Amino acid sequence: MDGYTFSVPVRVRFADTDAQGVAHNSAYLVWFEVARVEYLRAFAGGYQALRDRGVEALVLESFCRYRVPAVFDDELVVHTRCVGLRGARFRYEYAILRGDELIADGHTEHACVDALTLRPTRTPDWLVAAIQAAESAAG
Amino acid sequence: MDGYTFSVPVRVRFADTDAQGVAHNSAYLVWFEVARVEYLRAFAGGYQALRDRGVEALVLESFCRYRVPAVFDDELVVHTRCVGLRGARFRYEYAILRGDELIADGHTEHACVDALTLRPTRTPDWLVAAIQAAESAAG
Amino acid sequence: MDGYTFSVPVRVRFADTDAQGVAHNSAYLVWFEVARVEYLRAFAGGYQALRDRGVEALVLESFCRYRVPAVFDDELVVHTRCVGLRGARFRYEYAILRGDELIADGHTEHACVDALTLRPTRTPDWLVAAIQAAESAAG
Amino acid sequence: MDGYTFSVPVRVRFADTDAQGVAHNSAYLVWFEVARVEYLRAFAGGYQALRDRGVEALVLESFCRYRVPAVFDDELVVHTRCVGLRGARFRYEYAILRGDELIADGHTEHACVDALTLRPTRTPDWLVAAIQAAESAAG
C-alpha cells in the first residue's frame, strides 16, 4: 500500500461480528489500536516503553470510513503510518485491505500525557526520532 | 443540550475501561449506537421495524472527538439528532455529557440497504417522515 | 425470582450480537458484572468504595449456562445474590430472565486483593456486614 | 501442554484490558473462541464449512478459572482439545499459558443446531470423523 510504512494482519473474529453478519463498526477502532501497538513495537521499543517512562498516549479523535463490510474470518491487513508530529500530538493514518480491496480507512489523533497527571507533555525526543526514522525510511 | 432532539443515559461499565483507567475509545461508538437505537424506538417504532421490512442501516463512517476522559461508573448522557436525510443516507450527530461537561462529540453516517442484497435503497418514506417530525418538533 | 436479593435490567445492544443473530457468549459476563456493580452500589456504597480503600475484587472463576439465545433489543433482568463469604473470597450467583423465561444462569467467584500488591486480603468487615445484611433481608 | 491437541497464540490487546490493569474476564471467552475457530480450520475445513452446510454450533456453557492475571501485550498460548462428542453435543477444553505458567483454564460446551430452525441436530459425521482423527493423533 503506497505511502504506508507498516502493516499488520488481523483476522475477523466471530466476537467482532454483529447480527448484520458483518464486523461491528467498533471493531475497526480495536484493529487500528493493534496496528499502533505493533508499529511502536517495530520502531520504538513498544508502547510499554512509553508507559515505563511515565508517558501515556491518549486518543483525542478517531475517524473511520467503512467502505466494504468485513465478515467473519476475513483476513485483513491494517496498513498504518504516523504523521503530523508536533508538540505533544501525533496522528496515525490507516488503510484496511482485504486482498487488494480497500475495506476501510481512517485516522486517530493522539496526545502524549504525563501518566500521573494526565497533562499534555511533549512527545519524548527518542520517540520523535524513532518515528521520523521509520517514516523517512518508508518515504 | 441545545439543538439536540433526544438523549439517553449510559453508565460507564467496568468492561468499558482499559488499563489507562479510562473508558476505551471504542466504547464511545457503542454508546453512539445505543443512542441511535433508542432514538429510533422513540420516534420510528424501533430499529427492528426497519429490519422487519427488509431494510438495514449500515454505518458508513464514524467520527469521535474525545475531549475529557470518562471513567468507570460515570453517568453519561448521550445527546443525539438525525440530520442530512437524502436518498439512502442520513447522519446522526452526538454530544456526550457528564453533568454540564462535554466529554465527547462526533457523528456517524449511514445508508439504508436492502437486507438481502446489501444494496443501497432509499430511506423508506415512513422513516423519513418520522425523523423529520422528530427533528422539527425539536427545532 | 425466588432466593435472589437483587436485580438489574439490561437491554441487549446491537454490539452484543454476533453473526448467529444472538447475543455473544462473552456479553453475559459483562451483564453479570453490571449486576455486581449495581448490587454493591445498592448495598455497600459502590465498587468505588472498595477501590478508594485500596481493595480490588478479582474474578477467580466464571461460569455461564446459556439456556435460550437472547437477541438484539431483548429486555433482560439479571438477578443476583452474593453467597459464600469466607476469608478473602465470595461468590455471586446469577439468573438472567426475559419475562418469565430463564435464559441463562451462572456464577462468578471472587477474591479481595490489596490494590497495590494484588495479594489476597480478607474481605473488609464493613463489606461482609453490608452483604450479610442485604442477603439476610432477602431470606 | 500434555494432552492438548492444538494451540494458537494470542496477544493481549489494549482493548482487552480494564481499569484493574489486567485483561478483562470476558476477553478469555473470546480467546477460547479464537482457539475453537483455528482448531476447526486446522482439522475440519473451518467453521464456515459447518455454516455452509446449514449447521451452527451454539455455546451451551462456558467456564473459566482465572489463575494469574494477564496484562497488556502478554503473549499467550491457548491450548485446546475437543472431547465428549455424543449426539448433537461436544466440548472444548482449554489451558492458557504465558510461557510455562498456566494463567487460566476452562471449557465450553456446544450443541450443533440447524442454522434455520436453531433446533439440535446430530453433529455431522464428517465433523465427528475429523475431530476423532485429530484427537486420536494427539493421543
**A interface test, pick of C12, C18, C24, C25 with most A CB neighbours within 10 Å:** C18
**Which chains would you list as touching B if contact means 3+ CB atom pairs under 8 Å?**
A, C, D
Position B45 scores a pLDDT of 87
**How many beta carbons lie within 10 A of that of residue B120, not counting itself?**
14
- Tally the residues of chain B: 139
For chain A, what percentages of helix, strand and coil (3-state, to nearest 5) are there?
Answer: 30, 40, 30
Round the CA-based radius of gyration of chain A to a whole number and report it: 15
For chain C, what percentages of helix, strand and coil (3-state, to nearest 5) are there?
Answer: 30, 40, 30
Active site residue C18: yes
Q: What is the CATH number of the domain that holds C117?
A: 3.10.129.10
Position D139 scores a pLDDT of 54
Cell triple for residue D24? 478483562
Q: Which residue has the cell 427545532?
A: B139
Would you please indicate which residues of D are annotated as catalytic (active-site) residues? 18
Position C23 scores a pLDDT of 98
The residue with greater pLDDT, A119 or A76, is A76
Q: For residues C19 and C105, what is the distance between their CA atoms, to the nearest angstrom?
A: 23
Minimum Cα–Cα distance from C18: chain A residue: A18
Q: Indicate whether D1 belongs to any domain.
A: no
Q: Indicate whether B11 belongs to any domain.
A: yes
Domain extent, residue B62, equals 6-138
Q: Indicate whether D78 belongs to any domain.
A: yes
Q: Indicate whether A1 belongs to any domain.
A: no
Q: Closest CB to A60: pick one of B62, B65, B118.
A: B65
In one letter, which amino acid is D103?
Answer: I
Q: Indicate whether D39 belongs to any domain.
A: yes
ipTM of the complex: 0.95
- Pick from D33, D26, D28: nearest CA to A11: D33
Query: Is A99 buried (19+), middle (13-18) or exposed (0-12) by CB count in 10 A?
Result: exposed
Q: Indicate whether B1 belongs to any domain.
A: no
Per-residue pLDDT of chain D (139 residues; tens, 9 = 90+): 788 989 999 999 999 999 999 999 999 999 999 999 999 999 988 888 888 889 999 999 999 999 999 999 999 999 999 998 999 999 999 999 999 999 999 999 999 999 888 889 999 998 999 899 999 876 5
CB contact under 8 A, C33 and B47: no
- Whether the Cβ atoms of residue B95 and residue B1 lie closer than 8 Å to each other: yes
Position A139 scores a pLDDT of 54
Q: How many domains does chain C have?
A: 1
Q: For residues B116 and C133, what is the distance between their CA atoms, to the nearest angstrom?
A: 55
- Is residue B138 within a helix (H) or strand (E), and if so which, with residue range? helix B125-138
Q: Indicate whether C97 belongs to any domain.
A: yes
Q: Residue A100: phi, psi to the nearest 5? A: -90, 0
DSSP 8-state secondary structure symbol assigned to residue B68: S
- Is residue C76 within a helix (H) or strand (E), and if so which, with residue range? strand C75-86
Query: Of all residues in chain C, what percent carry a pLDDT higher than 90?
Result: 78
pLDDT in tens, A81-123: 999 899 999 999 999 999 999 999 999 999 999 988 888 999 9
